[in-house]
Structure 1
């Protein structure tokens, strides 16, 4: 089935979301839309609208102008089996003891590895992003140092890769949360597919705002692989939910943003214990005093 994309940019999340919502009333009707932060510190957001019939480019231009956004760039995507393409192109990720793979690579699991299967068809990432790898490596180093947490949460869990990595290596139940109900459904499906039912509890929540997250605190370790501003926003809550001496592994942070995030956590009583940069991204391990 052919697909057309229409891409624009707007200043600020609210403006981008308003434009995406307005596009829902177009004829032909789009099959989906989304807004994504352009992670360069500019507070500009990309608006993506997707069609299975050629869109009305005049109507798109009028909507962009009415919302103060850039003109839409419309293009037709080639018909590609993206799942098959991803399976061909993505090799397994090795991060210390952890081996993240698709089912097509199940025969390649090294002996003794903690294997996590994430299908290429799943939304919210396959575990190949440098931020996920940075978090897994940071966790692996803690385990190697004998720092095995007992109570763990994964805030903004996506596919639940990090929560499942914890469940593979600790005793107890890991709480994984996300603000997107589709992400929570995806996480639950992955937990079941990896034989971790009952070891990871997936909940719909913003930050720590859920009775299960509150009830399981204080945590020895919290993963938060999200974005700079949400990380800064939850810093005070992070401090309240960490046990004394507890750690948080933070990512979704561009290298240029790392100092700002570190400062926000320092202001809430959590110092940076370690920082690692992979590609364009930073991973911070912070510890509550």
Structure 2
């Protein structure tokens, strides 16, 4: 019987970056399935054979954007057909975070009935709810439900796959505006919003900054989730202040532990008081109110 070479179904691009650049990495790749292994290590599954020179250039560009001094090391590894079936099980997941349970449309198990369900299509590379910044925001949202607080209008900045918008939509009944700088994120949020039956309450826009007219249309906001990078959170503070209600709760994430005090100080100038921190690994989510 002749020996047949194993069929290659996909490739893995394995690379490592400094931990503080992880947030940028999660937003950088639109192709394939990105798996965050923690501590700055990533696996990117792609179906088309990667060209080494092309990917070397992409990592050079990533290093420039993320301000990484050294070249990003990477390796390209083939995955055999029989292994690919197992690898794609990352799309068949069920993740419990606080009272939330996040699962994908392919999940075959039972979703815990006592939890708040969020269905997310995991084909998108930038957010299935497992990143520490998203986890922190979900825990913060869960904690807010124990207060006497009912937001009438909500804002999700840096929505990614729309998990936080959907979570807010499941907890409260007001309208929600979701925004992201990437069109792929907007598409993902719209699809996941539909999966969760919230298309009539969640609107999504592609926007860089807070200048899009829709921000004023939905203002003033009583609850804001902003899962972006710490420098961006500081930069948008004054603009955000023009859109939020006098009594408001904001959840800020994408913050490394050593950056937290700087972000708190920027929002203290607007009258916000730190309510609680949610540290997970190298990251921390802040819950502030005024």
TM-score (normalizing by structure 1): 0.74
Any gaps of 5 or more consecutive residues in structure 1? 14-19, 21-30, 34-39, 41-47
Aligned pair partner of 2:129 in 117, 127, 132: 127
Aligned pair partner of 2:119 in 105, 110, 117: 117
TM-aligned CA distance change 1:104 to 1:263, over 3 Å:
same
3-state secondary structure, aligned to 1:105:
coil
3-state secondary structure, aligned to 1:108:
coil
Superposition map of 1:218-229 within 5 A: 218-229=220-231
| Alignment match, 1:95 | 98
Aligned pair partner of 1:169 in 153, 168, 171: 171
Check the 8 A contact 1:92/1:99 in 2, yes or no: yes
Check the 8 A contact 2:225/2:252 in 1, yes or no: yes
| Alignment match, 2:237 | 235
Deviation at 1:106, TM superposition (A): 6.0
3-state secondary structure, aligned to 1:192:
helix
Superposition map of 1:16-165 within 5 A: 52=49, 54-56=51-53, 70-71=70-71, 73-79=73-79, 81=84, 84-87=88-91, 90-96=93-99, 98-105=100-107, 107-165=109-167
| Alignment match, 2:271 | 269
Greater shift, 253-262 or 98-107, is seen at 98-107
3-state secondary structure, aligned to 1:195:
coil
TM-aligned CA distance change 1:54 to 1:203, over 3 Å:
closer
Deviation at 1:184, TM superposition (A): 0.3
Greater shift, 114-123 or 170-179, is seen at 114-123
Deviation at 1:270, TM superposition (A): 2.0
How many angstroms apart in 1 are the aligned matches of 2:252 and 2:108? 29
TM-aligned CA distance change 1:271 to 1:207, over 3 Å:
farther
Check the 8 A contact 1:136/1:162 in 2, yes or no: yes
Check the 8 A contact 1:251/1:283 in 2, yes or no: yes
Check the 8 A contact 1:228/1:253 in 2, yes or no: yes
How many angstroms apart in 2 are the aligned matches of 1:254 and 1:225? 12
How many angstroms apart in 2 are the aligned matches of 1:100 and 1:7? 27
Any gaps of 5 or more consecutive residues in structure 2? 1-8, 22-27, 33-38
Check the 8 A contact 2:94/2:102 in 1, yes or no: no
- The alignment covers a number of residue pairs equal to 251
TM-aligned CA distance change 1:83 to 1:146, over 3 Å:
farther
How many angstroms apart in 2 are the aligned matches of 1:165 and 1:72? 35
TM-score (normalizing by structure 2): 0.74
How many angstroms apart in 2 are the aligned matches of 1:56 and 1:219? 47
Structure 1 residue 192 corresponds to structure 2 residue 194: yes
The RMSD of aligned alpha carbons is 3.5
Deviation at 1:152, TM superposition (A): 0.3
3-state secondary structure, aligned to 1:93:
strand
Query: For 1:152-210, what per-residue CA distance to the aligned partner results, in whole angstroms no more than 9, with x for missing partners?
Result: 01001001111111111222221000010110011101011111111100111123221
Deviation at 1:6, TM superposition (A): 9.3
TM-aligned CA distance change 1:84 to 1:245, over 3 Å:
same
Deviation at 1:84, TM superposition (A): 1.7
How many angstroms apart in 2 are the aligned matches of 1:217 and 1:119? 29
